[in-house]
A and B are shown apart, each in its own frame.
Chain A
């Protein structure tokens, strides 16, 4: 997709550069100065030519714009059935977590033919997740989530680079993406795992004593978390907000920023008490409490907590 657009741009660029080079070369030879006294006829300019060589390039650039924007839109919208991977970047390594519970460093195993959505954050400076073979790149920022997605089509081993300068060992912050046949991937997945990501999140939820106030099904001092993910939440200032990953993250680390209507601002901040990876586990746990109708992520069913 990206490459077709690139070929179009290459063709346009080659046409104009070669055209201009040939013109310059031809004029420079054909009209070279033969005697110091020759006096060429002045030519003031030509409005019709000016219009021609403004309008034609403008038309071509607009094709580039629309085409490029179209590709970009597709790149920015992960499909609904994309498999979720969580990425935490730090100086100078990539930490990746699968919802099934596998955790990897500087390596990512994924099945071919399946869209993969990455939700990413950084523990320190800005990094950038760059897989040249997949034509994908997205900056990874501290304090917020960015996403990107891709669908590997051919099994193989692909470079993963950090593309945003991040300090001394920037060029060592590299890794490999292993795209595998689905059955190989399943075999890889089943090897040595203690529990799903959501179940790690649930454990953390208990350890941090979140459940003391956030009861799952009945009213506690704090909002009920079942089915909250993906829903519209009414806030105390009258506005509503969609409960997405970023909202959950903020509610954990900076709870007083957005208070749900009808509740008191009593939750303490968990900034410093829980790592970025932990936050992602909690997010995944809370996500698993709101299974999407239709597409049921396998992790969510597996991680469904027992009622208390």
Chain B
């Protein structure tokens, strides 16, 4: 099968050369790398905004930048991180690269549409960058009306257009994944033999296809309201500002699951591989992904408990919100149970997985606080909410993304990253993250409102802690950027299966050939069957 000769074999990387071979590629693996470069750029751009915000908040008075600039900083941080990093992050890079490999397919179902979706993200990003360079936008990433339609002086329309266009990128990726999972599984790859990463990306794709059009409609209405004054949202023109919030969160709450579900899929892979055990409760984890995708559509109103919606609507949305907690809890319990009597390796991806489980648990449990009507009234729109969603999106999604990137890096590039530096960076990220965001729970409970440029003196100690944490975090994030690039040239040769993992992606060369598999794989075992893997090695 795979021998030392694999080194000289054609891979997707050396199959052709030149900029055109990348910009016009139809190979899902190359497109995944295009995405990887793009979102890495946006991640560090959003990170620069975050850094400036944290430095500004070192002191109670607004002294580093003006209020107007500060408002633009947190708006751009949110817009860039949500729409141009987190939403595409795991599905468009790791999903794009590995979903076809994991199901034994040659490519995604629609390779050209896949390329188109990357171009759409880039074009959307260009609009957002134009808005940023032309003078910025200061509405917050939520664009609440009537501020965004009638009062803001920022470049709302350009930013809205950027998000509108990037949304189609997300829809097309979702569509591609759904069709691919239905139609392109290798012989013997039944639904219940799919790796859980595929299940979670499938569930994510459902939300992308069903939810994102609502965001597109909302953005169009917002743009029309601002430019043509049509009177949908602005009460001065007979519109309803709360309607905007319903429309916005109808997408943007499920979008939280677009961000975190693929991360959960990554964690399922990592926990199994690095315990050398099949995942505990495979079907429960698979179904809980779909359950989260469906239930996620029914809870948007919990963002509006104090926004002027009726008390009864608040009751219904609070009740339904608690239903999402159950499938999330099931996942955490099953991951923990998988460790029981395993053979647990402390490789870097597993450290990220441990980090994810811990931080996601805290993010999820604080979600119970904000879902409880009585508590939410006090903590909504404060730093408590900021801390809560950063625990989910950064502590959850970003940890999973980095874990997955370390896990699959040898497969993507054929090279190992330096394990010592990687472990150090995982530890740095974990400690820096907690130091940054844990104090924010306390700040929020004490009443520090979000989006404040200056604040009363009594909050300063906690803000200083948070800023200290952020500088540690920045170091933790910069390290992988350096050693990943270093490893491209100097990393040890990885071999096809450095982790002893079971997925089909590990049965082909690293990096894989353009058509993924020399011959179509035939699946005869369940997912995560380590005994069969061992038997094949011996035999």
Contacts and interface: CB of A to CB of B under 8 A. Distances in A.
Contacts of A144: 235, 308
Given A2-B374, A46-B281, A165-B144, 15 more contacts: A2-B378, A27-B344, A28-B344, A31-B342, A33-B343, A33-B346, A39-B276, A39-B531, A40-B276, A45-B282, A65-B371, A72-B305, A146-B308, A168-B67, A171-B452
A17 B325 contact: no
A79 B329 CA distance: 39
B45 interface: no
Nearest to B139: A165
A171 B281 CA distance: 49
Give the size category of A's interface with B.
Answer: 35 or more
Interface string B270-314: 000001111011111000000000000000000001111001001
Interface string B327-349: 00110111011011111111000
Interface stretch (B79-87, B127-135, B362-370): B362-370
Nearest to B319: A65
24 contacts: A5-B374, A12-B368, A17-B358, A20-B336, A21-B358, A24-B339, A28-B354, A31-B344, A32-B346, A33-B276, A39-B276, A40-B275, A43-B337, A45-B283, A53-B330, A71-B374, A72-B318, A72-B374, A124-B146, A126-B147, A164-B144, A165-B140, A167-B152, A171-B451
A26 B531 CA distance: 25
Interface residues of B, number: 91
B377 interface: yes
The winner among B150, B342, B372 for most chain A CB atoms within 10 A is B372
A76 interface: yes
A142 B236 contact: yes
Given A27-B339, A43-B340, A171 B534 contact: no
Nearest to B149: A125
Interface string A150-176: 000000000101111111111110100
A140 to B, nearest CB: 9
B18 interface: no
A213 interface: no
A112 to B, nearest CB: 20
A2 B447 CA distance: 14
Contacts of B151: 91, 124-125, 167
Nearest to B500: A36
Interface stretch (A127-135, A204-212, A231-239): A127-135
A76 to B, nearest CB: 5
Interface of B: 62, 67-68, 71, 138-140, 144-147, 150-152, 235-236, 241-242, 275-278, 280-284, 305-308, 311, 314-315, 318-319, 322, 325-326, 329-330, 332-334, 336-337, 339-346, 354, 357-358, 361-362, 365-366, 368-369, 371-378, 380-382, 445-447, 449-456, 500, 528-531, 534
Given A31-B343, A137-B378, A139-B306, A161 B449 contact: yes
Contacts of B235: 141-144
Nearest to A68: B372
Nearest to B146: A125
A27 B318 CA distance: 35
A234 to B, nearest CB: 24
A162 B449 contact: yes
B378 A171 contact: no
A50 B330 contact: yes
Contacts of B241: 126, 141-143
Contacts of B68: 168
Contacts of B534: 39
Contact of B138 (A27, A53, A139, A168): A168
Contacts of A264: none
A65 B321 CA distance: 9
B242 A69 contact: no
B332 A20 contact: yes
Nearest to A35: B343
B354 A24 contact: yes
A128 B311 CA distance: 17
A276 to B, nearest CB: 12
Nearest to B304: A139
* The 3 residue pairs across chains A and B that have the minimum distance between CB atoms: A132-B447, A143-B235, A71-B374
A49 interface: yes
A13 to B, nearest CB: 4
Contacts of B342: 27, 31, 40
A16 interface: yes
A119 interface: no
A24 B430 CA distance: 16
Contacts of A36: 500
A141 B376 CA distance: 19
Contact of B280 (A45, A67, A124): A45
A12 B314 CA distance: 23
A70 interface: yes
A41 interface: yes
B382 A163 contact: yes
A186 interface: no
Nearest to A143: B235
B311 A72 contact: yes
Contact of A45 (B71, B281, B308): B281
Contacts of B282: 44-45
Contacts of A67: 372, 374
A17 B329 contact: no
Contacts of B445: 6
Interface string A161-196: 111111111111010000000000000000000000
A170 B451 contact: yes
Given A31-B343, A72-B373, A164-B381, A139 B366 contact: no
A65 B377 contact: no
Nearest to A74: B374
The winner among A5, A53, A146, A174 for most chain B CB atoms within 10 A is A53
A69 B374 contact: yes
B449 A43 contact: no
B308 A38 contact: no
Contact of A73 (B71, B311, B336, B365): B311
A114 to B, nearest CB: 21
B428 to A, nearest CB: 19
A16 B451 contact: no
Contacts of B325: 57, 61
B539 to A, nearest CB: 15
B322 A64 contact: yes
B318 A69 contact: yes
